[in-house]
Amino acid sequence: MVGEEASECRSMLEMSYPMENGMVRCWEDMLHLWDYTFGPECLDINPKECKILLTEPPMNPTKNREKIAEIMFEKYQFYGIYVAIQAVLTLYAQGLLTGVVVDSGDGVTHICPVYEGFSLPHLTRRLDIAGRDVTRYLIKLLLLRGYAFNHTADFETVRMLKEKLCYVAYNIEQEQHLATETTYLVETFTVRWSKL
């Protein structure tokens, strides 16, 4: 199972994440995900008639890129492939060719300077701290407050809670005041097993 179907049955499944810290760690699971994505349940495409645009993180090892290209050409038989660095596309989406992109995803954060449409790898920084770490920390905080979790199933629930309710404070002092002195920031998040 993949996607929403897997998410709905997560209490009965052991969830697998084929990517870790921005890199494919389990190729078998990644292939299953791509089969689903290109198949009738999702995009329903014939790769032989398509070209594909793939994004990659800055500093992606050549070996990793070659393996993905090999799979796209040989297994799926795409007509053509273009691989672009995520930070460059982020700037393009804003109508810019030059800038600094801070890209914090699920498994890795990159700070990538881009000049005239080209990333500058010698100035790019990688941090193996990202969304998944925030979710783990949120689980830790909730455990300290007395909530019990089935780690595999409830990781997804806490991730959804994080994505719905958490944000970066613009003014930390004001946020701390609101959190300690008022109920303005109090939100309810209901899940099957409890209320947070």
Q: What angle do CA 146, 130, 14 make, to 5 degrees?
A: 60
Mean pLDDT of 128-139: 93
User: In angstroms, how far is the first alpha carbon of the chain from the final one?
Assistant: 28
Asked if 35 and 71 sit in the same domain, the reply is: yes
Q: Which domain holds residue 175?
A: 131-195
Q: What is the pLDDT of residues 34-43, one digit of tens each?
A: 999 999 989 9
Longest dimension (CA), the chain: 61
- Per-residue confidence band for 153, with pLDDT thresholds at 50, 70 and 90: low
> Tell me, what CATH number does 89's domain have?
3.30.420.40
pLDDT at 189: 78
Task: Give the gyration radius of the chain's Cα atoms.
Answer: 20
- Whether residues 32 and 74 share a domain: the answer is yes
Q: Which of 71, 97, 127 is the last residue of a domain?
A: 127
